[in-house]
Amino acid sequence: MGLLGNDCAQCHATAKWTTPEFRHPSPVSQSCAQCHQAPPSHYMMHFKMVSMSVAKMEKAEVSQCFLCHQTTSWNDIKGVGFYKHH
């Protein structure tokens, strides 16, 4: 989504995408939004009607990913478990 910049070669080589130096920030970090962009649905009614209700969060800004998400998987909702669509 461009959050890390568009000069891919600044961090990536051509052999593989992974970079051995990279350590993902701790799950207790609150700076998720610095690097991650929420899906478009989070900026629509879906956020209030589905996301907030599934996560059982009465008050949350979209930018506060850490309130509902963990680093395991985007569908592993904090305090709820894996969310299954439909």
- The C-alpha atoms of residue 62 and residue 47 are separated, in whole angstroms, by 8
Q: Can you tell me which residue has the tokens 């209700």?
A: 53
Binding residue (CB under 6 A) for ligand HEC from 1, 5, 40, 58? 5
Q: Which two tokens stand for residue 85?
A: 């669509």
Binding residue (CB under 6 A) for ligand HEC from 13, 34, 43, 79? 34
17: contact with ligand HEC by CB under 6 A: yes
45: contact with ligand HEC by CB under 6 A: no
Q: How far is the CB of 15 from ligand HEC (least distance, A)?
A: 13
Binding residue (CB under 6 A) for ligand HEC from 1, 14, 19, 84? 19
Q: Which two tokens stand for residue 7?
A: 């000069």
Q: Can you tell me which residue has the tokens 């993902």?
A: 24
The identity of residue 86, as a single letter, is H
Binding residue (CB under 6 A) for ligand HEC from 7, 15, 81, 82? 7
